[in-house]
Structure 1
Amino acid sequence: MGEHDITENLLGTYLKGRRAKLDPAALGFSVGRRRTPGLRREEVAQRANISPTWYTWLEQGRGGAASADVLDRIARAMMLTNVEREHLFLLGLGRLPEVHYRKDESVTPRLQRVLDALEPSPALIRTATWDVVAWNRAATVMLTDYDSLPPGQRNVLRFIFLDPRVRAAQYDWESVARFVVGAFRVDAARAGAAAEVQPLVDELCRLSPEFEAMWRDNDVRSHGEGVKHIRHAVLGPIAFEYSAFAVDGRPDLTMVVYNPATLEDAERIKSLVEARPVSRRAPS
């Protein structure tokens, strides 16, 4: 038997497996006598508002590729998680689904504990719109006292363009500002959050001619890793090696960790952090 004779219909196998895990009673279907667990094909088609014949062909590997709209309907009908939906699109179309931004600023206690364990390295979690939603004590001491600000003001672009103290802490403010604007533009577009960031962009354009000019340049940057220098009010010049990490299962969140560039700086930061009283807020 040749290798092409045993080629598996991966999409059909995946659909059949997901369908078998659905509870008919919980979804309003009569249980009755069923030869196999889960929903019948026609029941999935009914929930997805597509033809039962077309759905059957998908499971059987017939009829050609499904459209993104059909796959999206099936994903909703089967109540797939985000990662399951992505896998469905990869099998059906060979690509990820288009991104639709969903605002969710919640951070689990477990993720907060990860941030706390990284001290004395300042670490924070920001959204695709660059709102800071979680941080550790080192970030409070070295970067910004986020606890003292209302949630709506904990935005990196606001700090860079509207906070004189943050501006003064940068060695080359214009270079930092251009980098932030370019990386922010990429993150917002990648997350499908153009509409969500427009009010912030409009506000910053009104309040900061420098932001307006940089935004109109349409420059884009990648915020992966690099070196950041700051002038700290207590410790003076400090250098960090920073890295940005995606949070698995949360494409809207990014963790940024600032590692002190030298052991001496790490010890100085550690002493300053330990001298600060613990202020534990509940995660967003």
Structure 2
Amino acid sequence: MKYKHVFGPVPSRRLGISLGVDLVVNKSCNLNCIFCECGATTEIKELRQSFKDKEEIKNEIKNILKELTPDYITFSGSGEPTLSKDLGEIILYIKNELKYNGRIALITNSVLLNDDKVIEEIQKCDLIVPTLNTLREEVFQKISRSENISIENVKKGIEKLSKSDYKGEIFLELFILENVNDDEKNLEELSDFLKNIRYDKLQINTIARMGAEKNLKAVSHEKLISIKEFLEERKVRNVEIIAKLKEREEKIDINTDLFNNMIEKRSYSDEEINKIYKK
């Protein structure tokens, strides 16, 4: 069959063989982050809606799982997946009807975690990866370039997830940009906030591919190490730096549809591709 909504598996540094599911159309997001690998958001979307035919998405997932056994099915892609009103139904379909024994992950910018309906829908995920880069409004606006959304939306969303009945893992992502959010004051405020938040890992990341703004600078690995040590000195637990992509011993056959869907969303280097796919 022709695949339009699933993609990959993605060369993921965190999730192993990760089959992407894209519930939104390009580029549907409630933020316009300067580091986004999908490019700039041309039109900010704040209201949840159904972007695609959910039965098509279900059929694609059902069919590809006959050919591929991923470590994760990951909701990500062309924008913010929690904007899709079909997210909860498709998660339950994978778990209950397909009896999928692997893990389901959600990668989110955290804004809609303050919505009770969203929290209810994502309870069956095995892993949620929310972004938290700052607690300072001026820094948040510099990064996210949002007009109607403040850092309070993100803060309250992460607090709500932390206090919910969600039983899966939470890997918070801290995306560090040079001269944007890498100062000690920002890190101090984050460390104080995290003392009261339930999470399993705090993963420190920086630019690996070209973002929406081309002049952004990744921080050095040495700087990431110093940030990790600084946070740990302030009693932040389970801090890790995102490792480089590992090469798979058993390479994956390329499914042309899934591969093309993947590279349409963001660019991957030849090195990344060659580490997981057969030539």
Higher RCO (CA-CA < 8 Å; seq separation 6+) = 2
User: TM-score w.r.t. structure 2 length?
Assistant: 0.25
Q: Bigger radius of gyration, 1 or 2?
A: 1
User: TM-score w.r.t. structure 1 length?
Assistant: 0.25
**Structure with the larger helix share:** 1
